[in-house]
Structure 1
């Protein structure tokens, strides 16, 4: 469907497919667009136009045949009668967009204000796992099925497995707040994958992913139902495996195999080591890879690397690059020595050194103003306030729950610490909760921040989505968080105990912020002509700019 820029208002026109007149956003009306996605285009038998066809007739001819097949009381007859009238279509009665779908129900009660409420489709009857009865055990292993050849129109709607799947899908929909479109798409996908299913068959991820995506059906929701039924097998390749193959490319065979074993031990753990987080594993291999690539040009195994090789390599590094890569190499060679893969650890007695931190610098007012202007949605404004006012990390913002917000007592719990709500955050919270209630009234997700993807699940929003509105700005969420803690240290004095109590920092981090604030205050006192200025964030009165700490 055609896309138009934001704010563009498409003029009223006629749909090229059904010739209906009305307001619609794309090149075709919504019904013709959906009709064209499920049918191939050819020459229509009735009107001779090249259009998507169903049983050799376009949608315009179908609308005319349906209009002719209406009975005297205005209700359409069955589809067989409509098909019989297709050949008799000799003219077309033009209509307005979605005119055929605006029938008034005759047996529904009126709402307040005179609007009628459409009859709700009854839920599916409770169903259990079908009884397999007597069956012949398979002689051979299950042959992979080609779900791409199945047509949703040819689905077996009377299958007991489909009845059980629809009942489970209805329970998931009620529990997680799936909308009408998602419910319809899930039932359609289940009808496709469960056609011809018998007891003992296994549906694999690689078999259904591409066919379901080609039909624009929600694979994740369908997989949820199939997992509940116990007939799904996830045989997809994990992203970690693809990443590991790419990172190990270019290494010598011996070094590659040993590095791969070390990486898997980091991720899965060992007899005397706990598993690390996947992000930590990524960083460790990425930091050790440059040295391993250089040594792969001369050596075939890690046992050939000497202490002089390590010293020669680390001399080319400075600052945190030297520290991070040396820590990763020490982890690799320590593991290799413990496993008996090398005779001597070449990184032993090489001091890593303490990381020297520089003085943290506050943000400039114009940097903060650009970030404030970049957030335009209720969710983005709330995220900005949580980082800039309450110094919350991205992961902490993503894991906030609805129970962490107490609007009545003006309290907000972040990472287990209750904080008072200021007027700005309180207003932004109320705006977001109102938008959330209007946008997703039936969602069962208890996280505070949700989007169109997580509203139909119980998962939290990703860190990428949380930080996306300020990506590319000078004042990112992380810099705003650091700036807020630095501001607290400068306004209330460089006291590590105060910072640890307010923000829940550990002692080393609190001391770092206190040292930076003390250095900035001393620098401001030295550069001030009168020696009275104690806050380097304060702007001269004639500049007219408010200080950064006033936000």
Structure 2
């Protein structure tokens, strides 16, 4: 493979309206892949022709053994707003892509650790990379977990960098001071991150003793869950002005579905004829309101993207040309800044049921398919709210949004 050949694709483009397709076997292969993908995914003619033009631009002068650098064609396609992701997918399928994109995690970590003392920064950088990549003695963590760990220890690391030049100088008193002003989950997460850091440093021989040894977290008091007000729910409903937003709100507020579970629903999971929908592997009956919102969304989806082959119930302008689910921020921004977010509506629905059933954790576990600790937390909050009726809204009457559901494990959430 020729890896050091650089090309400037801003010049020498081939206009397919005036010229024939260049005779290049690699280009012919790429156009065949483009045609196959377009047929399989139901692309419109515009999307298909745009991809073909980009492939002609990149492969008209392609040489055997050459690898096409991502950084060479990225600025051209970015300026033209023309199918960057689809071009990259075709080149990857052909095995001729040289992906030289910068590591976003490394760039983020470098920025976060910029203010630390060089000696501490070097060790923290090695620790975070070891967690992210895993190793013989380190269990691999997700990027989100590593970011969370760094977020909770950053204040302590910044303070230590003003006094120390190495982690071995950190004492037990420094650890206690770092968690002294924190409580609940913030304290637990900070201490867990510090334990992980210094346990790793001890195994690597960077420190002589672990300063977190023997420090107990103590009881973690959970706050009492509070129901949303009717005004909060009304604002959320009014903010959901599009079919997909209304579907998200209905599934969260009626079926207590999580954000990720809603995005993962497939078209095959929806059975309108029998009024059933499968969410997170659990079959639930569709109530009248959810049925109405589902029909509205499916009509919109069929008219907006009639040829899409995306198997997921929810699609967007970007995901309709592929086979991936919609991204997390796609709907989140609609309710951003409002008290009743998608997650808030889900929690309120489960708390509503806990209030209606008198705080029975077995009922909650059966209806919502949640684990025992979560069911006990909702039940405990409900009992405390029921003991202070002036602070909680009254339990809903039958037939309302939070009506009591049958406590049979097979009974779906949101039954009418």
Does residue 343 (structure 1) correspond to residue 208 (structure 2)? The answer is: yes
Query: Cα distance, 1:395 vs. partner?
Result: 0.9
Residue in structure 2 matched with residue 95 of structure 1 by the alignment: none
Alignment of 1:496-515 (within 5 A): 496-515=361-380
Alignment of 1:355-394 (within 5 A): 355-394=220-259
Q: Secondary structure at the match of 1:418?
A: strand
Residue in structure 2 matched with residue 234 of structure 1 by the alignment: 99
Does residue 460 (structure 1) correspond to residue 328 (structure 2)? The answer is: no
Q: Secondary structure at the match of 2:249?
A: helix
Backbone CA RMSD of aligned residues: 2.2
The 2-side partners of 1:383 and 1:235 are apart by 37
Q: Secondary structure at the match of 1:413?
A: strand
The 2-side partners of 1:415 and 1:329 are apart by 34
Unaligned runs of 5+ in 2: 404-413
Matched pairs, number: 400
Residue in structure 1 matched with residue 132 of structure 2 by the alignment: 267
The 1-side partners of 2:197 and 2:155 are apart by 13
Query: Cα distance, 1:156 vs. partner?
Result: 7.3
- Give CA-to-partner distance per residue, 1:383-423, whole Å, 9 cap, x none: 00010001111111111111211112211111111111111
Query: Cα distance, 1:434 vs. partner?
Result: 1.2
Q: Compared with structure 1, are the counterparts of its residues 157 and 548 closer, same or farther at alpha carbon in structure 2 (3 Å cutoff)?
A: closer
Match among 263, 270, 281 for residue 416 of structure 1:
281
Residue in structure 1 matched with residue 108 of structure 2 by the alignment: 243
The 2-side partners of 1:372 and 1:537 are apart by 21
Q: Secondary structure at the match of 1:397?
A: helix
Which structure has more relative contact order (CA 8 Å, sep 6+)? It is 2
Residue in structure 2 matched with residue 537 of structure 1 by the alignment: 394
Match among 62, 67, 78 for residue 202 of structure 1:
67
Query: Cα distance, 1:321 vs. partner?
Result: 2.7
The 2-side partners of 1:195 and 1:158 are apart by 6
Q: Compared with structure 1, are the counterparts of its residues 147 and 182 closer, same or farther at alpha carbon in structure 2 (3 Å cutoff)?
A: same
The 2-side partners of 1:356 and 1:513 are apart by 14
Q: Compared with structure 1, are the counterparts of its residues 536 and 212 closer, same or farther at alpha carbon in structure 2 (3 Å cutoff)?
A: closer
Alignment of 1:49-128 (within 5 A): none
- Give CA-to-partner distance per residue, 1:163-215, whole Å, 9 cap, x none: 22111100011111111111111111111111211110110101110012223
Alignment of 1:100-249 (within 5 A): 142-153=4-15, 157-160=21-24, 161-249=26-114
Query: Cα distance, 1:456 vs. partner?
Result: 0.3
Query: Cα distance, 1:358 vs. partner?
Result: 1.4
The 1-side partners of 2:327 and 2:49 are apart by 27
The 2-side partners of 1:441 and 1:297 are apart by 61
Residue in structure 1 matched with residue 409 of structure 2 by the alignment: none
Residue in structure 2 matched with residue 310 of structure 1 by the alignment: 175
Residue in structure 2 matched with residue 484 of structure 1 by the alignment: 349
Q: Secondary structure at the match of 2:164?
A: coil
The 1-side partners of 2:29 and 2:347 are apart by 53
TM-score (norm 1): 0.69
- Give CA-to-partner distance per residue, 1:128-173, whole Å, 9 cap, x none: xxxxxxxxx98xx642112222334398722222222111100011
Query: Cα distance, 1:256 vs. partner?
Result: 1.1
Residue in structure 2 matched with residue 23 of structure 1 by the alignment: none
- Give CA-to-partner distance per residue, 1:55-75, whole Å, 9 cap, x none: xxxxxxxxxxxxxxxxxxxxx
The 1-side partners of 2:402 and 2:81 are apart by 49
Query: Cα distance, 1:537 vs. partner?
Result: 2.5
Question: When you count helix as a share of all residues, which structure comes out higher?
Answer: 2
Unaligned runs of 5+ in 1: 1-136, 529-534
- Give CA-to-partner distance per residue, 1:489-543, whole Å, 9 cap, x none: 111221111111111211111100000001111112xx59xxxxxx84259x9xx
The 2-side partners of 1:152 and 1:283 are apart by 48
The 2-side partners of 1:365 and 1:401 are apart by 32
The 1-side partners of 2:96 and 2:288 are apart by 52
Residue in structure 2 matched with residue 441 of structure 1 by the alignment: 306
| Higher Cα Rg, which structure | 1
Q: Secondary structure at the match of 2:283?
A: strand
Is contact 2:352–2:402 with CA below 8 Å preserved after alignment? yes
Is contact 2:184–2:222 with CA below 8 Å preserved after alignment? no
Query: Cα distance, 1:320 vs. partner?
Result: 3.2
The 1-side partners of 2:37 and 2:329 are apart by 27
Query: Cα distance, 1:455 vs. partner?
Result: 0.3
The 2-side partners of 1:448 and 1:273 are apart by 38
Is contact 1:489–1:513 with CA below 8 Å preserved after alignment? yes
